[in-house]
Amino acid sequence: MSLYFNNAFSKRPHQDVIQSMLPFITQEYENPLTESEGAERARAAIDIARKQIATLIHAKNSEIFFVSSGTEANNWALKGLAQAWAGKKDHIVISAVEHFSVYQTAQFLNRHGCKVTVVPVDGEGVVNADDIANAILPSTFVVSVQSASDEVGVIQNIESLSKLKHRFPEVVFHTDAIQFICYEDLDLQLIPFDLVGISSNAIYGPSGVAALFMREGTRIIPLIHGGMQEDGMRAGLQSIANIVGFGKAAEINKTSKQKWKQQLSAIQNQFFKCFDELEVPITGSRKSRLCDNVHVLIDVDGEALLSLLLAEGIRASTGSTCYEYAQKESHVLKAMGIDVDAARGAVLLTPGIDVSAQDVDQACEILRANIQHLRKLKPA
C-alpha cells in the first residue's frame, strides 16, 4: 500500500498537464528571444499560458510575471519593494504565521535597515484586520498577509484585509496565495491586492515555475538582472515546457476547482471524524480552513508516529518542510500559543484529488492502531 498525504508540499502534475508539456521538451525547445519559427512558437506558447493564469485570478495578461518558485515570487515582492522605497519608507508589516519565504525575507530586510512589525494571531491562527491597520505607520511601504497557511491550513479573512487597501491606498498589499488558489477563488478585480504570489505545483502543475501578479502601476525593482525576459523584470531563460504546464494547470483548475473542493472537503471530514474519535485536537480553525489540510496535535511523538506510518506506506509530515530541514521550532504553532511539548505531536496530512474515501478508511485504521500503540508506550 502507498498513500501520499504530502500534497501541500508537492502535488503530482495532472496527466493533461504532462501531455501539454511534452512537445516543449522533445521538439519545441528554442529560446523565445531568438528569431526563428520555433522561437515564435515558444513566444506564442508563453503568451497563451500567461493568459490562462491571468484568467484564473481575473487579472490582465501584462500583470503576470513568471518566476522559478513561490519562494522567489515572495522574495521579489518584499525585496523589490524595499529597493523601490529605499530612502523614502522603511517599515514592513507581516502576520506572525507567514510562510518562511515571507517571514525570513522580512527578517533579512530588518537586518538591512528596514523595520518590521509582526502582527499576532489568535489561537485559531487568524489575524485581525484591525490589528494590521493599527500596525500601519506613515513609513509603512508594504503589508504582507498570506491568504492561507501551508502548515495549519487556516484561511485568513481576505475580504476584510483587502478593505484596508482602501483605507491605506499608498501602502502596497501583498499576499502569498500559493496554497489558497487551488481550491478557493481569488478574483483580483474585486480583491485589491497589489502583489500576489502563486505557484504551479500547488495547482497540479509542474514544479520549477511560479508567478508574481503585479497590479498595473505597482513600482517594484527587479530581483534578477541580465536579460529582457518578462519585459525586463525577471531575467533568465524561461522554461517553456514548465510555463506551458503551468498555464494548462490553471485552465484545468478554473473548471475543476469546485468539484475538487467538494471531494476534498468530504475526505477532510473523514479524517476529522477519525481524530475526534481518538480525542486528538485539530489545529486552528475548522470553519475557515483549506479543504485539503488536516493538521493535528497528537499526545505522542509526531516523528515516531510518522516513522510507523511510513513503514506501512503512508507518507505524511510534521508540518512545514522548512522546519524539518532547518531543525527549527514552528513559528506558526508558537504564534498560535502552542507550547513546544504539544508541538512535538504535530502531524500534517494533506490529501490530493486522487485519494478515495476507501484510502482514508485504510489510513484511519492504521493511524488508530499506531497512535494507541504509542500511547501505551508513554511513561505513566
Please write the tens of the pLDDT for every residue from 108-144: 999 999 999 999 999 999 999 999 999 999 999 999 9
Query: What integer pLDDT is reported at residue 31 of this predicted model?
Result: 83
Q: Is the pLDDT of residue 323 over 60?
A: no
Parallel/antiparallel/unpaired status of strands 64-67 and 314-315: unpaired
Query: What integer pLDDT is reported at residue 319 of this predicted model?
Result: 77
Q: Is the pLDDT of residue 329 over 90?
A: no
Q: What distance in Å separates the CA atoms of residue 372 and residue 374, rounded to the nearest whole number?
A: 6
Q: What distance in Å separates the CA atoms of residue 277 and residue 294, rounded to the nearest whole number?
A: 15
Residue 12 to residues 6, 194, 205, 362, Cα–Cα distance (Å): 10, 30, 8, 21
Q: What distance in Å separates the CA atoms of residue 196 and residue 215, rounded to the nearest whole number?
A: 9
Question: Crossing angle, helix 240-277 and helix 37-56, to 10 degrees?
Answer: 30
Q: What is the CATH number of domain 15-252?
A: 3.40.640.10
Average pLDDT over residues 193-205: 98
Contact (Cβ atoms closer than 8 angstroms) between residue 160 and residue 111: no
From first CA to last CA, the distance across the chain in angstroms is: 34
Cα dihedral across residues 40, 43, 45, 51: positive or negative: negative
Average pLDDT over residues 13-29: 95
Residue 118 to residues 87, 95, 102, 138, 232, Cα–Cα distance (Å): 22, 5, 11, 17, 33
Q: Is the pLDDT of residue 324 over 60?
A: no
Residues labelled as active-site residues? 322
Domain ranges of the chain: 3-10+257-370, 15-252
pLDDT tens digits for range 217-229 = 999 999 999 999 9
pLDDT tens digits for range 71-94 = 999 999 999 999 999 999 999 999
Query: What integer pLDDT is reported at residue 39 of this predicted model?
Result: 86
Q: Residue 30: which pLDDT band, with cuts at 50, 70 and 90?
A: confident
Q: What distance in Å separates the CA atoms of residue 35 and residue 122, rounded to the nearest whole number?
A: 56
**Which range has the worst mean pLDDT, 109-113, 177-181, 327-331?**
327-331
Query: What integer pLDDT is reported at residue 328 of this predicted model?
Result: 66
Q: Residue 104: which pLDDT band, with cuts at 50, 70 and 90?
A: very high
CATH fold label, 3-10+257-370: Aspartate Aminotransferase, domain 1 (3.90.1150)
- Residue in the structure block whose three cell numbers are 504564534: 335
Query: What integer pLDDT is reported at residue 29 of this predicted model?
Result: 83
Residue 163 to residues 143, 145, 356, Cα–Cα distance (Å): 13, 13, 39
Residue 331 to residues 16, 96, 121, Cα–Cα distance (Å): 38, 8, 12
Averaged pLDDT of the chain: 95
